Structure 1
């Protein structure tokens, strides 16, 4: 910013004496120099610079133009003749540049995704005109000269030149307008991902893969994952041969039979993701170590036992022939409807779907390693083999208790011991019992790697932080490689993930008619739900994830952790004293809340400073006393070796501790430090309450109501959209509300330990804000969102746009189709020789 201002001011000082009385020319040229400098820098700048300078450029350009009009007036402007054509051109150039930038800044926040694509396109094309390639410079000059000629014809003295210039100008303008309009419609139809409008607060100081403490961790994480998401989108292939080639590159085998039919299905459904289905490969990979006939037998036996809590879907002759283990409810009707849409491309097979919320397949680490040993193989026979004749009859469900089940039930008991069976012997869960948080979190707990954050083997503390490990309501597992399809699973389990029927059937529907614009929403984090996720007995509810989260955010008599730059706090202190707090001027109510927030923060900072001063004085006194004691000891001991006094040992110990902590608590402008702040500062921004206490013994239900507050009626679901920040967290399993939240205009704060089918295509800090089960970073996330409202809105907009492109029912059907093709090959006796090329 200082560089731009310096260049602009220098240009004005240099030009003003040479053009006395022609302020339009001077200010117009300075405005052009400013814009050109900005555009040159933006080509190589980090996103924060690019975004901020776009706004600075627009307002500075407009300001310079207004100043010129005030100085010379309309009369002076009208008196300009053809000799001042350059001034006319530059003035109009600057004017249109300013208008363009302002339109982009204003409309990008309000338009629909398609219109926003068009606006972004115009911005990109307009900006590219300023680059330094000859043909682009020429087109820029012609365009703006034509506009100047068309709009200011009275300044051209010769009638013939004026006539030609008017015609030529209008023709050029018409061609440019038609090109932008046509190309804009074409681009608007393409998936609009990323874009400069999403990167207002982003900085990439420190490089893509490392966090530099000169920027806030959230800013860094947004930039990091935005770049990853753009890479994700850009690497999707565009043709069938490319898709086959990419498949072979990823998995080193040919695609399954009928892969060409799947690709045609996917393109017909206009899916945005064609290549990234790695979760399917990894979910099925262990079962390649089991013979196909063995897999089919295990499924048949599991489905025959009603105590297995499985839904059986049996495909015969290209259609769903039967469904077992259910009473014709919405769950199996949804599955049947979806599978029927592509069943004619599937081989005969039996599918086992989990009817419980918790995962079911737990393979001990030694068994899992052995199963991963065989390498998958494939051939070129584009045809499934089919079931042997003796297996064609559909397995029938036996009477309860007539068969021994392979499942062991640990419901309402601690499940941690079984949940970590597949973890490596060297993992923290089996060795140190200390979380390896540095692998997935930054600073005070901001999640940087969502996959690692879900890995329970890295975080043994989850044992006491999530209800699924403490005392799950239902927990029935099998320790054998039985392929069971589940809606979600924990990282250590071997279930096969598929899109939840709750999402497909829209059990929690989103209605746009009830949603509000971002600026009209309440600035609060909202959550309502039942006290589920753990069966509470003898106080076990205190370790449930929902109870812990609600209690943590509602304990307003306690303190929370902030991560702020002390130099920034001093500036905020000055702002508070002047009644001008940056970022809150437009809303008096929010400004008062912000003042209270910052006053509390600064109060804490001053208290810390005073404590440091007292501690420093005490240390000086201790130092003098220590010196005196040391002198006395020297006299006693003599010139030989001396033993340290207790004071000296204590002093040395503190000195060593200070040295260890110093790099993390330096009070410099480039360092973020932790600060303890009263939670009451955020009381008006928290609205988390239980709607029902359940899955608990009577005494525990009463204890929860007494400590966590009485339950409140569950509001109409569509009333949820009046809040800016929507908290979504696990219950007994996944939250069925997640997709509706993502589709709304609100921002989703997501806390989960369950893996789902969509994990590859939903990125933290781009489509949602992740919240750890440790919760330490929770209030700092809220503070950051409150003080970076535009950035919070960008995340909300990004999730909304992407959800309408990649989380549709068509996307789930496409994923399911590909999953069942892969599964059909897995259970085929000739799986090593079949494949599609």
Structure 2
């Protein structure tokens, strides 16, 4: 079709019009919508203004997100998303663009002068297009602050004497471990440190080579160190600053006479060891200690503590075992971890993740540094949102600890897979097979459309596998729920990891009646689905960064802390989920909707909102979770750590030159 007909125009003008139309056509092809433009990864582009809450009265949803039905009005998740965007914009407004402002932001937030070489760190960050917000580095100070209460010599000698060690001397990196040829994670961490070693002072890093966290110091002891740290905060006048680091050649000439003994112990269970790191008045410290895990998990069907109408509004609280004592019977870390090597001795041990009550110093995980597609997802991160399957995919081993016949009902991955298995939900709902490791939403506290509008007189099924009942939900309602789950769920374990492992069929007699093993699925295949749940294994999930980089939407449940927590916002970059998964069905109904049928009511989903979070998270990950951002974090961390190791740390700092 001719868009322009202008025979009277001269040839010069006609050529200009044709060129303009060609350019418009090219732009139309590559930029399909304004929403997509908002999430383009353009260096220097700030986070877009948060959208208004999704319309709940007149929006028409596509057939893949609720069969054209309108969504529920005033959904709690609408509020959470809108508030999260507003809070995140407030955070981003703190971004600094020159070393003077960055140093002042440091003083305001940390109460002391920035460490020596702060200007070199800032230049490195700026030259690598890093987003520099002081709050993004809060984890460093959470991890290192207690060491202000420990003598510098003690820190140096403990790190130097630990068996697994990465060292920097004069810009060169070496490592020591107990395995000939090295350990993969040690190699990766050494390479990470080596990438910024030319800028670093001399340091020794003791490394945790286990999956599990290893240090839990009693809260009262850490509180004492923190009181010392707070008392030491002072903005030392610049003329009095020591602006350089002492080397460690003296320590190398006269090392400790004996190797450092961290006094690790393998005696469990882990929960009593962990809760000593919680505040005295916390729920975990006051809770009854469970020893019998043969029963179904402690799920009462109530809204999680601190939630907003059942959904996560405080991500820190939702992840905290100290504040959620029921986690001792809901997570394999506390039920029976693969291994325990725990100590109450406080020393500088670096690792990739930890529980909130652990005392390790976090590095970006080694598996985030690797190019292995198993963790990185490879170079491709998924097709366009509209071409994906409108459902959830999960594949993984039934890890989380040592699952046995006497305790497997309490493991988080087993529970998740059972909850999104339509057959297990229907059998539980009709009373044919009690839900041995999860709870049905018997009182429909999340107001699920799949559980509303029925009049079947069948008795309500037990909600937690113990024969009890609550609410008035009918068995036909659960059949409806199961059919709805079937429409969007594809979850299975790829290895049951039973203990002890049976080399002969049926391989795992105690879980075979409940789980069918599926083939492993490469991450690239998983990207064909819109929703990617991410569930803890033996520790944190090493796939999380790759999921954030994808064009799919991560749905995250965890009890672990990582280096990047201060720079990722729930409901903006990913969807948070509580660790009992009570909110799982509500989250999925919000996004995929429920089409109804057979006289049941339906409700529309929020496919557009899901896409916005997925694309926003991907764009943000490409700005703040790059390998370059890990380098910036490690550079900053090791400047702070090296200062802690210096005898004159109280007067050390960066001196800002006049006019600089």
Partner Cα distance (1:196, 1:389) in 2: 55
Which of residues 811, 819, 822 is equivalent to 2:640?
Answer: 822
Tell me how far 1:106 sits from its aligned partner: 5.5
Tell me how far 1:110 sits from its aligned partner: 4.9
Partner Cα distance (2:345, 2:56) in 1: 47
Are the equivalent residues in 2 in contact too, given 1:314–1:394 (CA < 8 A)?
no
Q: Is 1:312 aligned with 2:118?
A: no
Partner Cα distance (1:214, 1:431) in 2: 40
Larger Rg: 1
Q: Is 1:346 aligned with 2:197?
A: no
Tell me how far 1:471 sits from its aligned partner: 0.3
Are the equivalent residues in 1 in contact too, given 2:92–2:133 (CA < 8 A)?
no
Cα 1:333/1:819, change in 2 over 3 Å: same
> Could you tell me which residue of structure 1 aligns to residue 314 of structure 2?
449
> Could you tell me which residue of structure 2 aligns to residue 426 of structure 1?
281
> Could you tell me which residue of structure 2 aligns to residue 737 of structure 1?
543
Cα 1:771/1:366, change in 2 over 3 Å: same
Q: Give SS of 1:457's match.
A: coil
Cα 1:245/1:192, change in 2 over 3 Å: closer
Which of residues 242, 249, 255 is equivalent to 1:381?
Answer: 242
> Could you tell me which residue of structure 2 aligns to residue 46 of structure 1?
none
Partner Cα distance (1:112, 1:450) in 2: 26
> Could you tell me which residue of structure 2 aligns to residue 546 of structure 1?
413
Aligned-residue RMSD, C-alpha: 3.2
Q: Is 1:719 aligned with 2:525?
A: yes
> Could you tell me which residue of structure 2 aligns to residue 406 of structure 1?
263
Tell me how far 1:414 sits from its aligned partner: 2.3
Partner Cα distance (1:237, 1:517) in 2: 34
Tell me how far 1:693 sits from its aligned partner: 1.7
Q: Give SS of 1:734's match.
A: coil
> Could you tell me which residue of structure 1 aligns to residue 134 of structure 2?
275
Partner Cα distance (2:617, 2:208) in 1: 29
Q: Give SS of 1:687's match.
A: strand
Q: Give SS of 1:525's match.
A: strand
Tell me how far 1:532 sits from its aligned partner: 1.0
Partner Cα distance (1:438, 1:709) in 2: 27
Deviations 1:436-459 (A, max 9, x none): 976531223x11111111221111
Cα 1:724/1:438, change in 2 over 3 Å: closer
Q: Is 1:537 aligned with 2:392?
A: no
Are the equivalent residues in 2 in contact too, given 1:302–1:406 (CA < 8 A)?
no
Written as runs of structure 1 = structure 2, the 5 A alignment for 1:253-292 is: 253-276=112-135, 277-292=137-152
Query: Matched residue pairs, number?
Result: 548
Are the equivalent residues in 2 in contact too, given 1:198–1:794 (CA < 8 A)?
no
> Could you tell me which residue of structure 2 aligns to residue 125 of structure 1?
none
Partner Cα distance (2:124, 2:156) in 1: 28
Q: Is 1:233 aligned with 2:233?
A: no
Cα 1:514/1:266, change in 2 over 3 Å: closer
Deviations 1:599-640 (A, max 9, x none): x54433x569x99xxxxxxxxxxxxxxxxxxxxxxxxxxxxx
Q: Is 1:680 aligned with 2:547?
A: no
Cα 1:390/1:351, change in 2 over 3 Å: closer
Partner Cα distance (2:249, 2:365) in 1: 31
Cα 1:112/1:788, change in 2 over 3 Å: closer
Cα 1:110/1:284, change in 2 over 3 Å: closer
> Could you tell me which residue of structure 2 aligns to residue 242 of structure 1?
101
Partner Cα distance (2:145, 2:633) in 1: 17
If asked which structure has higher relative contact order (CA below 8 Å, sep 6+), I would say 2
Q: Is 1:298 aligned with 2:158?
A: yes
Tell me how far 1:370 sits from its aligned partner: 1.5
Cα 1:201/1:744, change in 2 over 3 Å: farther
Partner Cα distance (2:200, 2:365) in 1: 20
Are the equivalent residues in 2 in contact too, given 1:319–1:343 (CA < 8 A)?
yes
Are the equivalent residues in 2 in contact too, given 1:325–1:397 (CA < 8 A)?
no
Partner Cα distance (1:774, 1:472) in 2: 18
Partner Cα distance (2:335, 2:393) in 1: 26
Q: Give SS of 2:276's match.
A: coil
TM-score, normalized by length of structure 2? 0.77
Q: Is 1:556 aligned with 2:425?
A: yes
Tell me how far 1:278 sits from its aligned partner: 1.2
Partner Cα distance (1:196, 1:349) in 2: 43
Partner Cα distance (2:153, 2:412) in 1: 41
Cα 1:330/1:524, change in 2 over 3 Å: same
Q: Is 1:785 aligned with 2:591?
A: yes
Deviations 1:14-49 (A, max 9, x none): xxxxxxxxxxxxxxxxxxxxxxxxxxxxxxxxxxxx
Q: Is 1:694 aligned with 2:489?
A: no
Are the equivalent residues in 2 in contact too, given 1:313–1:350 (CA < 8 A)?
yes
Flag the structure with higher helix content.
1
Cα 1:381/1:514, change in 2 over 3 Å: closer
Are the equivalent residues in 2 in contact too, given 1:197–1:794 (CA < 8 A)?
no
When structure 1 is superposed on structure 2, of 370-379 and 266-275 the one drifting more is 370-379
Written as runs of structure 1 = structure 2, the 5 A alignment for 1:493-532 is: 493-507=358-372, 508-511=375-378, 513=380, 515-532=382-399
> Could you tell me which residue of structure 1 aligns to residue 599 of structure 2?
none
> Could you tell me which residue of structure 1 aligns to residue 516 of structure 2?
710
Partner Cα distance (1:564, 1:696) in 2: 36
Tell me how far 1:722 sits from its aligned partner: 0.6
Cα 1:437/1:279, change in 2 over 3 Å: farther
Q: Is 1:440 aligned with 2:292?
A: no
Partner Cα distance (1:795, 1:830) in 2: 47
Q: Give SS of 1:320's match.
A: strand
Cα 1:202/1:315, change in 2 over 3 Å: farther
Deviations 1:344-364 (A, max 9, x none): 332222111110111111111
Written as runs of structure 1 = structure 2, the 5 A alignment for 1:483-502 is: 483-502=348-367
Cα 1:220/1:197, change in 2 over 3 Å: closer
Are the equivalent residues in 2 in contact too, given 1:198–1:798 (CA < 8 A)?
no
Which of residues 68, 75, 78 is equivalent to 1:216?
Answer: 75
Tell me how far 1:112 sits from its aligned partner: 8.7
Gaps of 5+ in 1: 1-101, 118-187, 204-212, 304-310, 566-596, 612-660, 666-674
TM-score, normalized by length of structure 1? 0.61
Partner Cα distance (1:337, 1:395) in 2: 27
> Could you tell me which residue of structure 2 aligns to residue 191 of structure 1?
45
Deviations 1:237-283 (A, max 9, x none): 12111111110000110011111110011001110134121111111
Partner Cα distance (1:190, 1:439) in 2: 39
Tell me how far 1:685 sits from its aligned partner: 1.0
